[in-house]
Amino acid sequence: MRNLLVVLLFTSFSCTNTTQGEVETKSEIVKVETRSKSSSKKAKNIILMIGDGMGTSQIFAGLVKNGGHLNLENFKHSGFIKTHASDNFITDSGAGATAFATGKKTYNGAISVDDDGYELKTILEIAKENGLATGMVATSSITHATPACFAAHDESRNNYEAIARDIYRCGVDVFFGGGLQFFEPQGLVDSLLTAGYEIVKNMEELIVAANNKIAGLLALDYMPSMTEGRGDFLPMASKKAIEILGKSEKGFFLMIEGSQIDWGGHANDTEYIATEMVDFDNAIGEVLKYALLDTNTLIIVTADHETGGFAVSGGSYEEKEIEGSFTSGGHTAVMVPIFAYGSGAEMFTGIFDNTEVFDKMMEAFGFD
């Protein structure tokens, strides 16, 4: 794909606490002007970004909160995906992420196993078998359902210590998130050190980390929300993961999850949703900067499901305010959007099943 690229960087990211627990957020917008032709060129790197619980209204809430623009506006290839599980019209994150990771439908609560409990090979494991570097970033525990589905196999998403053991055995090169309490009691931190990992437990250590293998466990369980002061963990962890994985001559696969968009939906909390969406978009901006420099990179941005039956019922661009309404405290069955940028992006248009995300990633990598 031949691209003429002009990159204009606008206001830098900031996150400052304001009164009554509100958070002033700003996503750095990477403006891209392109004239391009579709290309079947193989992708060397694939970065799959999952906004957990992110429907179109969640995206719009983030856009309004950010003053009317998001980095997602640079993604010219888009579509919608169907999200049902094998046993339920409404998926959970386990079944949804298993579909992305393996190309197979499964039951709600499963972690990359089929309906009979048999393990399903994941895109991350296949990438590793082909000599690529691999990574995961999440604002939840790294053992939570979505990241777990790429590096673990279990009949229940709630078996966090067993999932931690699987992540260790999988040998993911770089992972950042919470979940220290699921690794430390069973000696997995020591095992990771023995296996050559650099252990990162706070942002200061993350920023200076330079090892080719890094285990970032920055919270006992999940990371704080943006309204609780998480700051720029997600964009900085995404940037660091790319910095490390980008050293691989054969390329890399990286999964990044904005985990807590979903939690804002469960809580029916519009401010929670909007601030998490802006943070996720800021991470998208960091990833987009890399793809502008390395044109062999494919970025995919999507969601496992929508949460809350969320609708934006009012608001103001000038005040960056959103009024929301909800139909549920759980997930909904609606289709969710998918966006793509870079090598192979033209495959991600129209309406298709969530299992096809795996198939399209395999095709983009040139894997059989």
pLDDT in tens, 136-147: 999 999 999 999
Per-position pLDDT tens, the chain of length 368? 434 443 433 333 344 444 445 666 778 788 775 534 445 679 999 999 999 999 999 999 999 999 999 999 999 999 999 999 999 999 999 999 999 999 999 999 999 999 999 999 999 999 999 999 999 999 999 999 999 999 999 999 999 999 999 999 999 999 999 999 999 999 999 999 999 999 999 999 999 999 999 999 999 999 999 999 999 999 999 999 999 999 999 999 999 999 999 999 999 999 999 999 999 999 999 999 999 999 999 999 999 999 999 999 999 999 999 999 999 999 999 999 999 999 999 999 999 999 999 999 999 999 98
Two tokens, residue 189:
């931190």
Specify if 20 maps to a domain: no
The verdict on whether 78 is a catalytic residue reads no
Specify if 61 maps to a domain: yes
State how many domains the chain has. 1
Q: Which of 12, 27, 40, 93 is catalytic?
A: 93
Range of the domain at 101: 45-365
Specify if 201 maps to a domain: yes
Specify if 326 maps to a domain: yes
Specify if 54 maps to a domain: yes
Specify if 264 maps to a domain: yes
AA identity, residue 129: E
Specify if 177 maps to a domain: yes
CA angle 163, 52, 202 (to 5 degrees): 60
**How far is the CA of 16 from the CAs of 23, 228, 317, in angstroms?**
6, 11, 19
- What CATH number does the domain containing 327 carry? 3.40.720.10
**What's the pTM value of the predicted model, to 2 decimals?**
0.91
CB of 221 within 8 A of CB of 185? no
Specify if 22 maps to a domain: no
**Residues in Cβ contact with 359 at an 8 Å cutoff, skipping those fewer than 6 apart:** 103
